[in-house]
Structure 1
Amino acid sequence: MLGCHYYKKWHKAEMMENGYRTEYIFTTKTGNFYDKHSIQTACNRLYGKFGVTCRSFHVYRHTFGTSLAKKGVPIQTVAALMGHSDINVTRNYYINVDTDDKLNAIKIIALLTDN
């Protein structure tokens, strides 16, 4: 893992090259804060570079919540990490149950009823 000194050195060179000054490290190439639009623009450029279909930035929140839930993280913890005060928002909108999950649940039931 790269240390803070590496990023500070990188950022100083970035500021000199692009002609701006700021104390913040993670900014756009003009020294502005990242916002939804600038992050989406950066993602779209990256998607285009690799020939990947563009996705809404919000898709990553769904992926994050679903991945945590699939790894067994309690719903209360997932909700807290996502900034939701109500776990129902997390459960209803951010945790997706896919076909594999459903098939695995059916297999578990089948195994239980066979005994």
Structure 2
Amino acid sequence: EMQRAFIFCLFTGLRWCDVELLTYANVDPMTKTLRFQQKKVRNVSSRSWVTTPLTDDMLALVGEPITNDRSTELVFKIGPYVSCNLQLKKWVAEAGIRKNISWHCSRHSFAVNLLSNGANIKTVADLMGHSSITMTEKYLHVVDSLKQDAINSLGSISYAMP
């Protein structure tokens, strides 16, 4: 269940505190959208609501509700934050990954992957629920390092001197 929730966050940019509270009422399979109010906001405003388009794969991760009460049934029954992080560390270790992976890494990966694949920074800011692109710009440093890698991939310039 935790893996399913973490993977969902990789493709939606949700924080743990938002995915923990996500109900089936937040998911509209007809329009393939996810709409939820971010928990981690200072002032409740129109910016605290995030609408994210969903793919068929994302909808498959969500699955179908067990009960008929879409308004209160949680999509992911993942338990407390401490338990989720312990399970995540176990999952990461079993995969042979030696890096320190936290729940926030899914959100970071979401932003970096979008930016690396050419998404507009304003679009990424909207998908992440940032009130301005200033918050989103912190993810650009990773993309900037890709510029150097791209230039280096061209190889060296060799020419004959007369």
TM-score (norm 1): 0.57
Residue 52 of structure 1 aligns to a residue whose secondary structure is coil
**Structure number with higher helix proportion:** 1
Cα RMSD (Å): 3.1
Q: In the alignment, what sits opposite 1:60?
A: 106
CA distances 1:66-90 after superposition (whole Å, capped 9, x unpaired): 1101111110110111111110110
Asked if the contact 1:75–1:87 (Cα under 8 Å) also holds between the matched residues in 2, the reply is yes
Report the alpha carbon displacement of residue 97 of structure 1 after superposing the two structures with TM. 2.6
Q: Does 1:48 align with 2:93?
A: yes
The one-letter amino acid paired with 1:39 is: C
Matches within 5 A, 1:5-16: 5=64, 8=66
**Structure number with higher strand proportion:** 2
Asked if the contact 1:84–1:90 (Cα under 8 Å) also holds between the matched residues in 2, the reply is yes
Structure 2 Cα separation of the partners of residues 69 and 58 of structure 1: 17
**Shift in alpha-carbon separation, 1:78–1:26, aligned structure 2, 3 A:** same
Q: In the alignment, what sits opposite 1:39?
A: 84
5+ long unaligned stretches in structure 2:
1-56, 155-162
**Shift in alpha-carbon separation, 1:27–1:101, aligned structure 2, 3 A:** same
Structure of higher CA gyration radius: 1
TM-score (norm 2): 0.43
Structure 1 Cα separation of the partners of residues 74 and 107 of structure 2: 25
Asked if the contact 1:8–1:25 (Cα under 8 Å) also holds between the matched residues in 2, the reply is no
**Number of residue equivalences:** 89
Structure 2 Cα separation of the partners of residues 62 and 46 of structure 1: 18
Q: In the alignment, what sits opposite 2:124?
A: 78
Report the alpha carbon displacement of residue 38 of structure 1 after superposing the two structures with TM. 3.4
